[in-house]
Amino acid sequence: MTIRWGILGAGKIASKWAADLPLAGNATLQAVWARDSSKAGDFASRFGNPEVCATADDLLHHPEVDAVYVATPHMLHAPGARACLEAGKPVLVEKPFGLNRAEADSIALLARSRGILCMEALWTRFLPSFQTALDLVGSGRIGEVRNVVADFGFVAPQDPSSRLWDPRSGGGSLLDIGIYPLFLARSFLGNPDRVASVCQRSTTGVDASCRVDLAWLGGQSASLHSTLVESTPCMAVIEGESGRIVLERMFHIPTTVVVHDANGSERIPPPAGGHGYEHEIRHFGECLGQGLRESPLWSLSDSLDLSLLMDRVQEAWQ
């Protein structure tokens, strides 16, 4: 089954995603909408000339659009996703699923009540390198996981109007990039029992950086860091009782996985491919083809839990 996609938004991530779409093998680009029609036109000319819709509503009700990818800034994810579901369209929603758990809930409730496939575009979940790490842990290669360390930081230009710094756009490091270390820790250790965090505020009032310490009653822990004011290694280490797995820079994209155990070290490079978005695109199409309403790999409950975790981190800053 080939999914005919429509995209809301024609910015940076939409471009990378559209570039990878042909690699998915089960997807074509049917239509695009952006608030600036000249930007949408330019986007269309770069990606095979899909139809440029005059309004978002036109795209949502387009009879030849099978699924919609919401690629607008954070604060538009929940309204965009709900509009897709109201129009009866399956929807892939960029991360974060919503600005907070309440917004995420509003999407999940609607998706479940309508029985329409809806998934957060937590693309790292679908990468072969991430799956390799999950499989290595599952095979017992490093024993029980005891600690996760992960960071994601880069120096973002100090432009207060940029979505990264603007509080009205859901700016700050946590929702934009801190979500990845949290996702990683939760993937290997589950939802934490204790959440501690401190943040450094920007002049615009969002978190320029934040450090998060998670703890589990079984003694497991995670130390996580995200920042928009520092270039950090962007690596992840999953420490087990008898070894460790390193996801090399950048840990959230297709990357080399190194496993260290009693027998030495093994490096597992990523397979050739695009930016890596083809995996989530293919997975979403397969779910749709199978008539699934939620992804078995990244369910609505996963998105809700991650959203709640980010709420808990922010509560710790008060």
Ligand X SMILES: NC(=O)c1ccc[n+]([C@@H]2O[C@H](COP(=O)([O-])OP(=O)(O)OC[C@H]3O[C@@H](n4cnc5c(N)ncnc54)[C@H](OP(=O)(O)O)[C@@H]3O)[C@@H](O)[C@H]2O)c1
Element (H, E) at 17: helix 12-24
Pick one of 29, 32, 34, 238: the residue that binds ligand X (CB under 6 A).
34
Residue 224: strand pairing partners: 150, 212
Closer residue to ligand X (CB): 32 or 117? 32
Shortest gap between Cβ of 43 and ligand X (angstroms)?
8
Rule CB under 6 A: say whether 99 interacts with ligand X.
Answer: no
Burial label for 258, CB within 10 Å (0-12, 13-18, 19+), is middle
Q: How far is 48 from 255, CA to CA, in rounded Å?
A: 29
Instruction: Choose one: 65-73, 143-151, 208-216, 254-262; the region binding ligand X (CB under 6 A).
Output: 65-73
Rule CB under 6 A: say whether 73 interacts with ligand X.
Answer: yes
Question: Which has the closest alpha carbon to 76: 13, 1, 146?
Answer: 13
Is residue 16 annotated as part of the catalytic site, yes or no?
Answer: no
Rule CB under 6 A: say whether 78 interacts with ligand X.
Answer: no
Closer residue to ligand X (CB): 161 or 318? 161
Pick one of 72, 132, 173, 255: the residue that binds ligand X (CB under 6 A).
72
Rule CB under 6 A: say whether 12 interacts with ligand X.
Answer: yes
Q: How far is 303 from 191, CA to CA, in rounded Å?
A: 12
Rule CB under 6 A: say whether 166 interacts with ligand X.
Answer: no
Q: How far is 33 from 11, CA to CA, in rounded Å?
A: 11
Contacts of 278 (CB under 8 A, 6+ apart): 20, 21, 23, 24, 25
Q: Which residues are catalytic?
A: 95
Where does this chain bind ligand X (CB under 6 A)?
A: 9-14, 34-36, 39, 71-74, 76, 94-95, 121, 123, 163, 176
